[in-house]
Structure 1
Amino acid sequence: MEPVADWPQILSVKRGSLLKAEFDLTEGFVDPLSRIAVVAAADIFGPSWAANAGSGSGIVEPDLRVGDLVVHEDHGLGVLAAIEQIEVAGLQQDVVKLEYHGGASLLVPVEEFGRIWRYGSEPDAVALDRLDSEGWNKRRQSVAREIEKVAKRLVAMAKARSHQSAEMIKPSRADLARFAARFPYAETLDQTAAIRAVMNDLLSGKTMNRLVCGDVGFGKTEVALRACAAAAFCGKQVAIVAPTTVLARQHYETFCRRFAGFNIEVAHLSRVVRSTETRKVKDGLRSGNVAVVVGTHAVAAKGVAFTNLGLLVIDEEHRFGAKLKQSLRGLAPCLHTLTMSATPIPRTLQLAMAGVQEVTVLNTPPAKRRPVRTILAPFDAGSAKAALLREYRRGGQSFFVVPRIDDIETVFRQLGRLVPQLSVKIAHGEMKARELDEIVVRFAAGEGDILLATDIIESGLDIPQANTILVWRADRFGLAQLHQLRGRVGRGRLQGFAYLLTEPGKELAEATRSRLSALMALDRLGSGLTISQRDLDLRGAGDLFGEEQAGHIKRIGVGLYQRLLERASSIARGGPPSDTQLPDINLQAGGSFPGSYVPEAAIRLSLYSRLFRMSTHSDLNAFADELEDRFGGIPSEVATLLEVTRLRIDAAELGLSQVDVGPEAIAITFRTKPSASVWQNIKGVDEFEFRRGRLIFRPPTKTGTAQLEVLRSLIGSIRSAHAAG
């Protein structure tokens, strides 16, 4: 298959050739003049392929990097100082150098990488632990006891909610299919999964409490639309609540378009709605004539009553206070609730991580969506002018965002000097609601070249032709705020640009620079939840049952906190401890990621860290596929490492805590001593004995490769013995 670059080159190739070219096509075509047929990938794999090709990476724990504060489960808080290589038994192995209080250091071997967790604060903000002291152990034990109490309360909350019955919502499949057919795009795989999860919740007979996390523009609104349609088609009323009048207006128009022709009345309720219309909407909700209401917090205002409210949707939930959200949830008994956010607040994120609230993540970007190119620099008049004119010349619009209303007049005059040929519109929170709403709606319709605004545009605004944003004094905005502002651009197929501008000549505080650098580093599609995790790192989830945003996480770090919380929650439910740490298998040659395969040490560290936290074969298989995609064919050292990890997963399922493989014997340690019947049922092993709490086998082999084969067979024999016993 011959690659070609453009159409003229295609025309120059002789007839009958099979060619390959990169074009932005949603479907193929035939050119009768040149008698050439063009076949697009979507023609072969189906329309959903285009929507899911190049899907965004999954949301994972932030990668470890040199200079990070980390927590080693056995040694406490230190700094990841370096990644080095040492020789072990004639083989080069990666190790991590951790530095502790007083300059003391520790070399951590590969097999312990899974015991290292990112802490997440700046090195100057906390005191490092002392090696070989009791301080860390006491602190960890103290937090573990407190986490046990938290876990019991979380489990009690989840159990109480699981007993809350709700009327099953089961709409006509034909009605839903007609409604879905109006979605002008192919659903991404994640959207399909999220819609299925929501529909299952509504059918379960239990009250739904689901959080849909998806980056800006990843299709959360469509998931909400399907849920609302299901409820409305079953005769239930639906309330959709947005944090701003502008976003509520935009949602209202979207819902009106989608429900047109279905005999479903959609109404709008916010401070921009005139009093006569507001009274009419309230009467319609009270009588049941209004099936769907879209509004702001006005939905929970005095005098608003529903006759049959079945579903509540809260968009951009991080913009609402806990008291208001509780008031909204109290609008009806046994109310199905769907919350949506690109950057959920730390408390919500932690509740979802703990399993009290179901969570669905939309990782997959829309087809052909590109990450927004993010530039951090001091303000420069020439550069700002060039950015605004470039957007204007390609037929687009720009945002210019300032932190305070007082800044608008100054910036407006400066824009008049820089780009006098461009039309500037102004929007801020002190405007009358109707005036603000009208300005933004007209800008969205193409009136004006620049929208000069405060962060009033942060939430959910969808203006596809606006693809450049300049944020003045970006250091005065929070991390999640900046991510939301950046999400206002690059929502179509054009490249989006975000300029984070700081005051010229002013040195930024270290914490501020770290916050802005985090946004620069997390510029890939789908990074919204990762930014929330970073925010969780920096601020802490706080006491889950109080108002303070500082808590146990500050003492041991978010990663280890989550592991301990998962373990405590499992025990509180009456289940086994959910240990993510797999048993150690000590082999002469346990495999590695060689530098010739993965040249960058930081990436090797990230891969080791991910690998040693895996607990299922499906995760391991997906990881192996990813390695092959990223780095090419898997060499023998990596194949051995993956096989050892596979055996560790098997060993964990059998209750093994450690396996030591030497030249003369294999020693296996169990978490709890198995019954005598297990020993009697072991088959296919000639010599074994139980000594000092360990099972000792004497296989006839001494080489590393052969030891791996023997160990695989031995674990298989133990599995069979367990099954027979």
Structure 2
Amino acid sequence: MEKPVPMDRLVCGDVGYGKTEIAMRAAFKAVMGGKQVAFLAPTTILAEQHYETCMERFKTFPVKIAHLSRFVAPAEQKKILKKAAEGQIDILVGTHRIIQKDVEFKNLGLMIIDEEQRFGVKDKEKLKVLKNNIDSLAMSATPIPRTLHMSLLKIRDMSLLTTPPQSRQPIETVIDAYSDERVAAAIRKEVERGGQVFYLHNRVESLAETRIKLERLLPEMMIDTAHGQMTSEELDDIFRRFKMGGFHVLVATTIIENGIDIPNVNTIIIDRADMYGVSQLYQLRGRVGRSDRKAYAYLLYPGNKSLSDIAMKRLQVISDFTELGSGFKIAMKDMEIRGAGNLLGKDQSGNVYSVGFDMYVRLLNDAVNRLTAQEDYQSQAEVLMELEYTGFIPDSYVQNPQTKMEIYKKIAGVQNAEELDSVYTEMTDRFGPVPEEVSSLLSLAQIRIICRKLNIASIKEHNGIAAIEFAKVSDISVNKVLRLIAESAGAVKLNPSKPNMIFLNTGKIRLKEKSEFIREKLEKII
């Protein structure tokens, strides 16, 4: 019996869309099947939150759950490691600590990786060893370019969560130069409607200084700070007080990026937003707007400094995609900005645009097919077409330049007759009957399809003669070619000095009928 292939699935969904719910159900299914589960989270706060969620969800079931992170005492860690190795723990929730060498499982069956984009290359190499023969479920709102690209190429499976929670509203995003007045107005506006505010300042050294500055600006507000160098007890106390409404503004580092869920916080102010990546900005913005109230995100940059092109692009992407469920689109844009990275190497992003993304995907598919196919595999060569007529999409038919480019791209990517019919139907549905210029363009695509079937390397037309060169003569039926020459009344000829070519006389044929003439002749030798 053939051994089943382990699952390797990426679940892509926005914050609050139900990724954790899927993880819980997958974990339960694995435990009921007699397997152990490793639940990996990037931060101690998020790991602790997942641990509490698991304890709550599985309290009525005989499921043993443990938690590993730097906040767990060393003596307790030893006990947990011993139990995991003996199979006495069903679900082990933790940070990077659970992928260290001293962590062993008796019968690990499922690895759940939350916020997959937060793990570095070295961690991913360790995970590869762990994940070799077990099922893997990765979750992310904005996967890194390499992960997203592997999913798009079907090297990894991917599921999209696109249905927002009920009453969820899009977050209003403001990008502006920093000013004390802007910050004070934003905080007062939120507090006046009974809400609270996250103020993100990602420098531990100057966090206290930022708090003092805000207290001078807003003497009536109660303000506190949080950062990753605090103990678990200190952080627990701060977040509990903040959740209970004990103070108005929390000045924090990116420790709040993952796992903080406080519905009453509906404004986030990000100081030096130009210093963050697209994915990180999106995650931080997702800390607000987790209830049915309108939320605001202020991405502020220094007014006295010029931003780099990359920083401008990142901020532009975040401001462009504010509607619900934009995580996947943002990840796609991130891949455009940074490139798709190496599939087998360490780089998580890279410069795909040196060859163009479409060409890169085509080259990759060709390489994969060549390695996995039989010995007689033949790569699909691109047909070189130089004809004395062309087709285009006139402005009178499609006005929007972007839409026009999309249609050109679709026509250029057509691989068979079904895809061509689909493009034709879509165009007539959207824009009405196709004009003559567009018909010519579609005819060229049709000729290209026939050329691929016949393994034709090129068609070059010059002075009324179209020279057709075959890449492999043995693929062509000689009898069909001879019959075509006999029936064509001199319109089709051979040249003894060029046995891999036939010549079509197109001189007297009008442009409108030329594609039909070439297509008709080529179809007779298929």
Shared fold, TM over 0.5 = yes
Cα deviation digits, residues 666-715 of structure 1 (max 9, x gap): 65443322545365289999424445433445699944554455556556
Distance 1:580 1:396 in 2: 62
Question: Which residue among 439, 453, 458 is the counterpart of 2:252?
Answer: 453
Q: For residues 361-380 of structure 1, what are the structure 2 equivalents within 5 Å?
A: 362=160, 364=162, 366=164, 372-380=171-179
Distance 1:272 1:450 in 2: 26
Counterpart residue number, 1:293: 92
Contact 1:542 1:553 survives alignment (8 Å): no
Q: For residues 198-597 of structure 1, what are the structure 2 equivalents within 5 Å?
A: 205-217=4-16, 219-273=18-72, 278=77, 281-301=80-100, 304-331=103-130, 334-346=133-145, 348=147, 357-360=155-158, 362=160, 364=162, 366=164, 372-393=171-192, 396-440=195-239, 443=242, 448-491=247-290, 495-521=294-320, 525=326, 526-537=328-339, 541=341, 544-545=344-345, 560-574=359-373, 576=377, 584=385, 586=387, 588=389, 590-592=391-393, 594-597=394-397
Contact 1:479 1:519 survives alignment (8 Å): yes
Unaligned runs of 5+ in 1: 1-164, 167-204
Cα deviation digits, residues 195-242 of structure 1 (max 9, x gap): xxxxxxxxxx12333444445555443443443233222111111100
Quickly say closer, same or farther: Cα 1:674–1:626, change in 2 above 3 A.
same
Contact 1:343 1:531 survives alignment (8 Å): no
Question: Which residue among 595, 608, 612 is the counterpart of 2:408?
Answer: 608
In the alignment, residue 249 of structure 2 is paired with which amino acid?
Answer: I
Question: Which residue among 467, 472, 476 is the counterpart of 1:672?
Answer: 472
Contact 2:197 2:265 survives alignment (8 Å): yes
In the alignment, residue 336 of structure 2 is paired with which amino acid?
Answer: R
Q: Could you tell me how far 1:379 is from its partner in structure 2? A: 0.9
Distance 1:230 1:609 in 2: 44
Counterpart residue number, 1:145: none
Contact 1:542 1:552 survives alignment (8 Å): no
Q: How many residues align?
A: 512
The CA RMSD over aligned residues, in Å, is 4.3
Quickly say closer, same or farther: Cα 1:612–1:543, change in 2 above 3 A.
closer
Q: Could you tell me how far 1:554 is from its partner in structure 2? A: 8.3
Distance 1:340 1:700 in 2: 61
Cα deviation digits, residues 333-384 of structure 1 (max 9, x gap): 72223333344445555665676x4141527353676654433211123322
Quickly say closer, same or farther: Cα 1:650–1:680, change in 2 above 3 A.
closer
Quickly say closer, same or farther: Cα 1:657–1:216, change in 2 above 3 A.
farther
Cα deviation digits, residues 14-67 of structure 1 (max 9, x gap): xxxxxxxxxxxxxxxxxxxxxxxxxxxxxxxxxxxxxxxxxxxxxxxxxxxxxx
Distance 1:438 1:625 in 2: 62
Counterpart residue number, 1:140: none
Distance 1:440 1:545 in 2: 40
Contact 2:174 2:299 survives alignment (8 Å): yes
Distance 1:262 1:611 in 2: 56
Q: Could you tell me how far 1:545 is from its partner in structure 2? A: 3.5
Distance 2:431 2:396 in 1: 11
Q: Could you tell me how far 1:609 is from its partner in structure 2? A: 3.6
Distance 1:420 1:506 in 2: 29
The normalised TM-score by structure 1 is 0.60
Contact 1:581 1:612 survives alignment (8 Å): no
Quickly say closer, same or farther: Cα 1:280–1:549, change in 2 above 3 A.
closer
Contact 1:346 1:533 survives alignment (8 Å): yes
Distance 1:251 1:586 in 2: 63
Distance 1:626 1:405 in 2: 55
Question: Which residue among 630, 653, 656 is the counterpart of 2:456?
Answer: 656
The normalised TM-score by structure 2 is 0.79
Q: Could you tell me how far 1:400 is from its partner in structure 2? A: 1.6
SS of 1:314's equivalent in the other structure is strand
Distance 1:216 1:578 in 2: 43
Counterpart residue number, 1:599: 399
SS of 1:382's equivalent in the other structure is helix
Distance 1:658 1:338 in 2: 47
Moved more, 472-481 or 322-331: 322-331
SS of 2:477's equivalent in the other structure is helix
Cα deviation digits, residues 172-204 of structure 1 (max 9, x gap): xxxxxxxxxxxxxxxxxxxxxxxxxxxxxxxxx
In the alignment, residue 360 of structure 1 is paired with which amino acid?
Answer: M
Contact 1:347 1:542 survives alignment (8 Å): yes
SS of 1:489's equivalent in the other structure is coil
Quickly say closer, same or farther: Cα 1:421–1:710, change in 2 above 3 A.
farther
In the alignment, residue 213 of structure 2 is paired with which amino acid?
Answer: Q
SS of 1:429's equivalent in the other structure is coil
Question: Which residue among 694, 697, 709 is the counterpart of 2:501?
Answer: 694
In the alignment, residue 184 of structure 2 is paired with which amino acid?
Answer: K
In the alignment, residue 233 of structure 1 is paired with which amino acid?
Answer: M
Contact 2:13 2:19 survives alignment (8 Å): yes
Quickly say closer, same or farther: Cα 1:325–1:635, change in 2 above 3 A.
same
Distance 2:48 2:409 in 1: 46
Quickly say closer, same or farther: Cα 1:640–1:320, change in 2 above 3 A.
same
Distance 1:545 1:666 in 2: 46
SS of 1:470's equivalent in the other structure is strand
Quickly say closer, same or farther: Cα 1:551–1:330, change in 2 above 3 A.
closer
Quickly say closer, same or farther: Cα 1:627–1:677, change in 2 above 3 A.
closer
Quickly say closer, same or farther: Cα 1:479–1:348, change in 2 above 3 A.
same
In the alignment, residue 381 of structure 1 is paired with which amino acid?
Answer: D
Distance 1:342 1:262 in 2: 30
Counterpart residue number, 1:45: none
Q: Could you tell me how far 1:452 is from its partner in structure 2? A: 2.0
Contact 1:242 1:297 survives alignment (8 Å): yes
Distance 2:315 2:101 in 1: 41
Q: Could you tell me how far 1:294 is from its partner in structure 2? A: 1.6
SS of 1:293's equivalent in the other structure is strand
Unaligned runs of 5+ in 2: none
SS of 1:475's equivalent in the other structure is helix
Contact 1:423 1:449 survives alignment (8 Å): yes
Q: Could you tell me how far 1:243 is from its partner in structure 2? A: 0.6
Quickly say closer, same or farther: Cα 1:668–1:385, change in 2 above 3 A.
farther
Contact 1:443 1:451 survives alignment (8 Å): yes
Counterpart residue number, 1:109: none
Q: Could you tell me how far 1:312 is from its partner in structure 2? A: 1.0
Contact 1:405 1:454 survives alignment (8 Å): yes
In the alignment, residue 389 of structure 2 is paired with which amino acid?
Answer: Q
